Structure 1
């Protein structure tokens, strides 16, 4: 759909911040905000290291430049005066040399720290700021690796994600080698579920592309703390298009079949029946989801596929998923309650499980993440949502391609259909 092309053009313009931060210390920016914000990093507890490198250390010494570190739990910093904020810093690094190293002391649990810059002009609102050359810097924030050396660029809430994406890609590759040929034959045969299978396959491929882009970005990030920002943006883009494609598929199947049911008989369950009403509802849901996804991306400066849902867009997105779950469940309940065929009823119930799992996993995991520590919440949501949605896709594939149910749907039978739910000992019956 043309609307989906907006994702690519917008997201490629969005930046992705890393934990190797380069830029310029600006006295004017520090004065306006009572300090220039540099970055946030969650140190795991032992052997954490902050490194600051300057290109003009004499100028930094002349301006009395310094880095300030605050625990992220210090939420009342905005309400403090400039001088009080500078005094509240737990650590201060006077920038007088080309390179400064600060070892973070032992912490009982992972703690997020915010890094700010200030100088002699920060709290002097009436003083004139001389025209100095730019003060370029590079700040590295490192956790300890498996050997205990401070070489790990990943913040505590990101640790382990690269291994997860590697295993996910490996699973996709193995499943693709096993099922790509029979799935291709099934798609070539056509039938009433042909469009649904194409959309489902497209959504799965997009999810795989998102995982691949995330892995490439994180693999580079592990070496330099910056990664490949374009790959991170592409991962978000593919994930959003996959989400929208699945929403269009599920709404079209449920609403299209239900709204046309009274006008003509159905030869099989959940055929793709188009009507103006069903198309309007499906497109309305797709556009709403797309707008909220884009809004959420711009509400969070740190871009990743599943956000902390602390913005209004994130909360509305969760609410939309719950509403869609209730809508699909009510539609499928109406279908199931009036269906006399036990086989078709089982088909609808299994379809309901896959649909509900796809939409409801994100809100449920977001609520469950509250019981975990802060550094584990993002990983719980990210890994949990991807696994649940992958399981939902497998459920739908099994449902659409199973020989025993496909006979009822399309009046066709084939021993070559993949992902069958019937046992091999029963193959002779078909």
Structure 2
């Protein structure tokens, strides 16, 4: 257990004091003219004690350009129809950039509110004026929310607040579960048995989710200190989660459709078994490939958002992914219904029903949570979906683990008819091992 303890201690050391969100870059006059205000960042303040800080490398150049920051509250799309001067004049307040550092308190609001920061200068609305080649202006912008003590030191935007603590609790739950169940699981994997392949795939998916949660926690922990984090670690977390999603889909389709993971095994025309016909192979491979493509597309569409999870489903790829999961749930429901309706054994029906619960929870939790999130406030929706999906899919894995590890259930069912369950060994091999 020493490696696990060392990992937990390392995670605890990452929980340091928070600083602020940091955005670094260059104020460009040509970009400000083209966009009618250069977009800098967006941040959701929690309602009180919000602060924006701007630091300049060359204040004299800022004075010469008459540089300023424009801060908008809930920037409306109608601004696109206004003239340049009217658009800039709609800013909630303006921060003239004339010194090395500027601090500005955000007006207090009753509820969390999104604010956007734009840059403009004397050349932004002067279409005919020639922008002199006097260089661009390097900047650092920090945005702070109030922490638990009311001081403006919390960098997380309102829609991200609490995710860091959630991942810590999730890792703690994983750690405790590993301490309790890792030895029985390893023993079951060493012994093999009818459900050996299922347990291996489930364990792989669980390991991928654990690594994803760890990467997210490290990224957010670093982000809370320097306002930048480790974007590569956040991307790795999303990649690991996508691989686990695809692996789980592969497993569930294999179990329900009878497309065995062991290709050398002869197909059996029994319940939950499916001959490897071109049609069955196309459904299984097509479902896995389609989900993988949609996950990559969804991830690509949110690359510009800082550590934003694809679970939020705010793009066309996300909607298609939801539709795919609902379709797969309907497909699996039809297959399981046919099996359960023709099964006479009560024990086997209980086995199939328990398996159906795990499948439907895995597939339908995401679409249902996306629909339910509509009743929450804007800053809570992403957290509700992200946290809810992780918890529901973890419960689904617990159900499947309990089903396939239970000696009182799956062992008795498989011993009644070893060829009637998915991914089982032949009757001859079964007797040889036991």
Normalising by structure 2, report the TM-score: 0.86
Match of 1:352 among 340, 351, 356: 356
Q: Is the 8 A contact 1:256 1:275 kept in 2?
A: no
Q: Distance in 1 between matches of 2:269 and 2:321?
A: 36
Deviations 1:388-419 (A, max 9, x none): 0000000000011111122234439xxxxxxx
Shift of 1:97: 0.4
TM-fit CA distance, 1:273: 7.4
Residue of structure 1 in register with 2:9 after alignment: none
Alpha-carbon deviations, 1:39-62, whole Å to 9, x = none? 100000110000000000000010
- How do 1:51-90 residues align onto structure 2 when only pairs under 5 Å count? 51-90=53-92
Deviations 1:231-257 (A, max 9, x none): 100110011001001111001111126
3-state DSSP of counterpart to 2:108: coil
In 2, are the aligned partners of 1:252 and 1:272 still within 8 Å (CA)? Answer: no
> How many Å apart are 1:35 and its aligned residue?
1.0
Question: Within the alignment, does 1:212 sit opposite 2:222 as a pair?
Answer: no
Unpaired runs of 5+ residues, structure 2, are 1-19, 261-266, 417-434
Q: 1:283 is paired with a residue of what secondary structure?
A: helix
Shift in Å, 1:72: 2.1
Instruction: Please name the residue that 1:233 is paired with.
Output: 235
Secondary structure of the structure 2 residue equivalent to 1:76: helix
What is the number of equivalent residue pairs in this alignment? 391
Relative to 1, partners in 2 of residues 1:273 and 1:192: Cα closer, same or farther, differing over 3 Å?
farther
Counterpart secondary structure, 2:143: strand
Matched, 1:320 2:324: yes
Moved over 4 A (4+): 269-276
For residues 110-153 of structure 1, the C-alpha deviation after alignment (integer angstroms, 9 at most, x for no partner) is 00001110111111111110001231000000001111111100
Q: Partner of 1:363 in structure 2?
A: 367
Structure 2 residue 125 is matched with structure 1 residue 126: no
Give deviations 1:243-288, integer Å, cap 9, x for gaps. 0011110011111269xxxx7454xx75797555433322111110
Q: Give me the whole-angstrom Cα distance separating, in 2, the residues matched to 1:211 and 1:317.
A: 22
1:94 and 2:96 aligned = yes
Counterpart CA distance in 2 for 1:248 and 1:233 is: 23
- State whether residues 329 and 364 of structure 2, in contact with CA within 8 Å, keep that contact through their aligned partners in structure 1: yes
The answer (yes or no) to whether the contact 1:195–1:272 under 8 Å persists in 2 is: no
**Equivalent-residue separation in structure 2 for 1:111 and 1:212 (angstroms):** 30
Q: How does 1:6-405 map to 2 (within 5 A)?
A: 19-256=21-258, 264=268, 266=270, 270=272, 276-300=278-302, 301-302=304-305, 303-405=307-409
Q: 1:38·1:115 contact (CA, 8 Å) conserved in 2?
A: yes
**Contact map agreement 1:321 1:360 (CA 8 A) in 2:** yes
Distance 2:334 2:273 in 1: 18
CA distance in 2: counterparts of 1:272 and 1:189, whole angstroms: 27
Let me know the Cα RMSD of the aligned residues: 2.0
Q: Is the 8 A contact 1:45 1:109 kept in 2?
A: yes
Partners of 2:246 and 2:292 within 8 A in 1: yes
- Contact 1:358/1:388, CA 8 A, preserved across alignment: yes
